Structure 1
Amino acid sequence: MRELLSSFRKLGLRRVLGAFVGLLAFGQAAQAASFLEKNFYLSGPRYDGNLPPCESALGKISSQFADKESTFWNSTLQITGYDRVHEIAFRPWQSDNIPRRFCAATAMISDGKPRPVYYSIIEDGGFASFGNGIEFCVVGLDRDWAYNPACKAARP
């Protein structure tokens, strides 16, 4: 090993690097992909933008909210009803992003307080990309601060 290092010193680092670059220059040129290498059944995402209306997600939001409150926060809070359900935005970003429908509503909570709810329906956003996914935030009950402040991160 010492002999190798001393030979590098004798030849000079520039000469060694020059020889290495010269060997790389005579390597094989890159070639185009063969037929089998060209996207062989790699279909990729095909987003259609066919998302259900805002009202279709309310049942799932109610059940997920009740499950989260009872499991993680030891609370009996539930959503008992909705009012003023409306769409905020549909595909607000570039057209090649994953399609999302952003919605808002006022939820009546079992403690008697109406609270705003912001949610999005995401195409192919379900478990393992099967079905539509839903992300939601209830203002004032985002206890893990995932969408804070005041559920701003759940809106477009």
Structure 2
Amino acid sequence: MYFDNTSIGTSTNNKGAFEIKQREGISSALVVSFLGYEKVVIDTYDSNEFYDILLNESIDSLDEIVISTNDGMPREIKLEQFRKQFLGFSKFAKSCKILNEYDVILRYKKSSKELIATAKSPIIIQNEELQYLVCFDIKSFVIEYNFV
């Protein structure tokens, strides 16, 4: 669970219960998500209310299939390129860490010279320098290479 476009979030306990306080001035929707289920967005969240939230299984969800292929770029290099371009180059960007890199799907397309990144679930970014944790729902991220 997290407030959309903020670094405020939490996880459930082993029974699915959670508590999240809405800070003054935050008017973002509360996003409830879990891998393999449709996300629920609560636009008017009140931290004084009790919510019983049921997630529906995603119809788009398929059993995981792993296809091993050599697309011309090792995963370590693709991941390094993704980190640099997605997180940035500043001092603060260098203190960021993606906590669930295993959820990032990276594919290099030789024909168009593009590195395409998607993610199975929102990626979790921790910034030690600025002391924040943020979830980012990445649908598609493309790095275009222009080799001369």
Does the TM-score normalized on the shorter chain lie above 0.5? no
Larger relative contact order, structure 1 or 2 (CA cutoff 8 Å, min sep 6): 2
Q: TM-score, normalised by structure 1?
A: 0.29
Larger radius of gyration: 1
Q: Which has the higher helix share?
A: 1
